Structure 1
Amino acid sequence: MNPSNIETLIDAGKKRKADFVEIYEEESRNSSIALRDQKIEQSLAATDYGIGIRLIYGTDVLYAYTSNDDLEHLLSLINLLADSRGEGAASSGAFTLAGSSSKYSFSPRVHDPRKVAPFRKLELLQTADHIARKVSSKIVQVGVSASDIVTNVLIANSEGLFVEDLRVRSRFYLSVTAEKSGERFVASESPGAVKGFEFFESLPVEELARSAGERALFMLDAGYIEGKKMPVIMGNGFGGVIFHEACGHPLETEAIRKKSSPFVGKLGEQIAQSCLTAYDDGTIEDQYGTIRVDDEGMPTQRTLLIQNGVLKGYLSDRVGSLETGVPRTGSGRRESYQYAPVSRMRNTYIAAGNDTMDSMLASVDFGLYAKRMGGGSVNPATGEFNFAVEEGYVIRNGKIAEPVRGATLIGKGHEILPGISMVGKDLELAAGTCGASSGSIPVTVGQPSLKVDEILVGGR
């Protein structure tokens, strides 16, 4: 957008007595191809463009968006927002963008996916399908997709901020279904990164496909565990989804300011055992939730959430900071121009500890080893969660025993935290997608292997 038009829009918002005016312009190009049952299920290439306008009065947020960049139309949206609040006009001097200005582009190592022919991805999908099916004749279905998105955003506001950011992300998804005697088991892999086509070029597709196929086949013959409360050792990587959902969301000021979090007013208090430290870090190179600036134009940072069991911080956006007094953490995020930003996670993880898997296993007479987590649900207001275990094993007399399937972990995040008594050294991160009030955004979850003294395990 022409900078002079941005100045005109911000000036119009100030004249309607807004304390803060923000213009967010975005153009995104996404491309994806999906293969199922050895046939192309979907091939998509699309471009989306739009502008979001945010007026803030105190801590009240008014937001409108459009794909029409005509200046008169945008001015009419500002007046419509102000009219909805009953704000009259005020005199003000002409606004000038005279503050900080930044422009970010791709690093030299990024292979721009917009310049790559679609058949390059299709070859990867066909390879994955072929390798997974070779594992066994019991593999009855393979679904695989590759997607990427390039987004160019401009963020300007009434404080003089003017930032342009060119962003890229890529993701690969694979699901493999094994069937025997009418019963099925699905195993999946879904890596992603802040990379261009070089992500796919270096992806160990054959290894991922073989691993998913073998896991689906192996777990197909697994039995079931009796549901009850027991110690659980959770595997590293995507196991961090429980911390993300049940504890991470309640640490966002979006929940804190609404008093809908069990962690309200607990800064400086011991909420977990001293073995547990956790971060939300937007600076980790290439991780799926990494950002250079958030969607309010603030540089990202590494935010300490819990240190040796003590609650140290929340994740805050502009409005959350105004309402709670918590410093902004570069955590204002949104799915697209169609959403106003709110405080959201980036790369959220429990830090590596000092325990070994052997020592954790030795401390359990009978329990569950949840090696890989699947999907689940959570109530952000209460922290109550219910997550499926994709790959699980009985722990018996300090040893990993027979595999079990169909297990679920049930509990409340703030109640589970104090029960984490051992934390391993094997930190691993995993890509994910998080949905909340500002839409679906790319994130990373993670943790080392860890022991929870007691969780309610659902089974048979």
Structure 2
Amino acid sequence: MLDRKLVQEVLAAALSKGGDFAEIYVEDRLNTSIDMMKGKIESSLSGRDYGVGIRIFNGLNSVYTYTNQSDRLTLLKMAQNASMAVGGMPQNLAVDLTIASPHDKHPIRIRPEQIPKSDKINLMRLGSEAATHYDSRINQVVVRYLDYTQNVLIANSEGRFVEDSRTRTRYTVSTVAGKNGKMQTGFIGKGAGKGFELYDEIDVAHIGREAARVACTMLDAKPSPSGKFPVVIENKFGGVIFHEACGHGLEATSVAKGNSVFAGKLGEKIASEVVNAVDDGTIPNEWGSMNIDDEGTPTKRNVLIENGILKGYMVDKLNARRMNTDITGSARRQSYKYAPTSRMTNTYILNGHSKFEDMIQSVEKGIYAKYLGGGSVNTATGEFNFAVQEAYLIENGTITSPVKGATLIGTGLDILKKIEMVGDNFESGEGMCGSVSGSIPAGLGQPALKVSEITVGGREEN
């Protein structure tokens, strides 16, 4: 992507006016994105993004700059300007780079860029038609198809020089059901760090029908009650509650500055003893997996919580300096336009020993959250608020009526301590996660969980 001698020159220039560490990040990305609404293509974009980012540290200070030009003069001038900006003592040194070849844990069988766009559109039509024909009350269906291949080169003044390729593919269906002026939505998707072989493994028609089923079910639902109730959270995308309410608070991005409720709690009991959680970027072909992170460090399986005890954080290079700790292969960024920072890869609550049926039977009156929707969290306080896309009442140990408008409200520390049962039915899901280094693919998941009590917010029927 860039000649090694040029990279050495640029890194030397990046330390020529100041700084004690320099890094160069090169990205060459091929994208395909197609949107279909009501069976017709609304947009179809294919393109290439290319750029170079240079980052320099001086102690705990950093400077980041980027360009979409990669000629020698542009890169050397940019590196020297950044070096002056970060301050410190000038260094005249020749950077000796050693090429590293990471083991590829995520092989791609069918390159998506080799598949005709017409084949991708045919798959979109299958999902669209399945959702549209599910029920006459479905009045809008949006199908989105995405694939990209991101090639990166990362080198730094410590001598690392490594290249990697990441391919991801995703398919989602959004639906709207309407009746008597009322509307409800449904959303289902599937993505992986795979090529077009993903479509040998998933049923796009089922995705469409499931998205339609959720919208229609909620259309007929009664308003959710409000109050404090036991809640059973379903597996798979139910893991978003741990991702948001707890995962972000375990990233060094917030921990290093003391802006997290989990700061300074290593070795302390922060959760029920039935809770075990990891962040693992090594799982083959998972949505958030990579061979190396965006600082060139091999990804790994990081234990976050073990039997309720806080065991570790997710840490990037700059925050490792601030915290005087080791890096964990957790540095991520959306593109060359962003400096990396500590982010989640695939963040999971691990399997327990409880049966889903036993969780439901143990609840006299509560809520079953089948699909969670969007939410927000304040990492400094751990306070969260999540919409429940599909919810049901639990009455006398039985799942009964669907309810709409339910929200789960609480704090990460509180919910971790109130997890009473962890199921044995783990499944993974995926989503896009936003933070200071942009929007990135993040895997999540869990088995079903029973929380002894969560504040549930409802809403009145319109």
Structure 2 length-normalised TM = 0.96
Structure 1 gaps, min length 5: none
Q: Work out whether 1:329 is the aligned partner of 2:328.
A: yes
Q: CA deviation at 1:339?
A: 0.8
Cross-structure match for 1:21: 22
Q: Conserved in 1, the CA contact under 8 Å of 2:17 and 2:87?
A: no
Cross-structure match for 1:230: 229
Cross-structure match for 1:95: 95
Cα deviation per residue 1:399-456 (whole Å; 9 max; x = unaligned)?
1111111100011111211011111111111011100011010011111111111111
Letter in 1 for 2:14: G
Cα deviation per residue 1:95-115 (whole Å; 9 max; x = unaligned)?
232x34226779665211111
Cross-structure match for 1:140: 139
Q: CA deviation at 1:227?
A: 0.7
CA spacing shift, 1:457–1:107, aligned 2, 3 Å: closer
Cα deviation per residue 1:97-153 (whole Å; 9 max; x = unaligned)?
2x3422677966521111111111100111111111111111111100111011110
CA distance in 1 between counterparts of 2:240 and 2:146 reads 22
CA spacing shift, 1:93–1:391, aligned 2, 3 Å: closer
CA spacing shift, 1:218–1:10, aligned 2, 3 Å: same
Letter in 1 for 2:239: G
CA distance in 2 between counterparts of 1:21 and 1:264 reads 28
Cα deviation per residue 1:46-71 (whole Å; 9 max; x = unaligned)?
10100000111112111100011121
- Secondary structure of 1:232's counterpart equals strand
- Secondary structure of 2:366's counterpart equals strand
Q: Work out whether 1:32 is the aligned partner of 2:33.
A: yes
CA distance in 1 between counterparts of 2:223 and 2:444 reads 27
Cross-structure match for 1:276: 275
Structure 2 gaps, min length 5: none
Cross-structure match for 1:182: 181
Cross-structure match for 1:45: 46
Matches within 5 A, 1:5-404: 5-87=6-88, 89-90=90-91, 92-97=92-97, 99-102=98-101, 109-404=108-403
Cα deviation per residue 1:349-372 (whole Å; 9 max; x = unaligned)?
111101112221222111101111
Letter in 2 for 1:96: D
- Secondary structure of 2:410's counterpart equals strand
Cα deviation per residue 1:225-276 (whole Å; 9 max; x = unaligned)?
2211111111111111111011001101111111000111111111111111
CA distance in 1 between counterparts of 2:144 and 2:315 reads 34
CA spacing shift, 1:226–1:106, aligned 2, 3 Å: closer
CA spacing shift, 1:3–1:426, aligned 2, 3 Å: same
Percent of matched pairs sharing the same residue: 46
Q: CA deviation at 1:93?
A: 3.7
CA distance in 1 between counterparts of 2:398 and 2:392 reads 10
- Secondary structure of 2:7's counterpart equals helix
CA distance in 2 between counterparts of 1:60 and 1:110 reads 43
CA distance in 2 between counterparts of 1:366 and 1:165 reads 51
- Secondary structure of 1:338's counterpart equals coil
Larger deviation, residues 76-85 vs 42-51: 76-85
Q: Conserved in 1, the CA contact under 8 Å of 2:282 and 2:299?
A: yes
Letter in 1 for 2:65: A
CA distance in 1 between counterparts of 2:352 and 2:88 reads 54
Q: CA deviation at 1:33?
A: 1.0
Q: CA deviation at 1:78?
A: 1.7
CA distance in 1 between counterparts of 2:167 and 2:149 reads 4
CA spacing shift, 1:393–1:29, aligned 2, 3 Å: same
Letter in 2 for 1:95: V
CA spacing shift, 1:403–1:270, aligned 2, 3 Å: same
- Secondary structure of 1:191's counterpart equals strand
Structure 1 length-normalised TM = 0.97
Letter in 1 for 2:308: G
Letter in 2 for 1:273: S
Q: Conserved in 1, the CA contact under 8 Å of 2:256 and 2:319?
A: yes
CA distance in 2 between counterparts of 1:2 and 1:357 reads 55
Q: Conserved in 2, the CA contact under 8 Å of 1:142 and 1:174?
A: yes
Task: Give the number of aligned pairs.
Answer: 458
Q: CA deviation at 1:196?
A: 0.8
CA distance in 1 between counterparts of 2:93 and 2:247 reads 43
CA spacing shift, 1:105–1:364, aligned 2, 3 Å: closer
Cross-structure match for 2:409: 410
RMSD over aligned Cα atoms: 1.5
Q: Conserved in 1, the CA contact under 8 Å of 2:19 and 2:87?
A: no
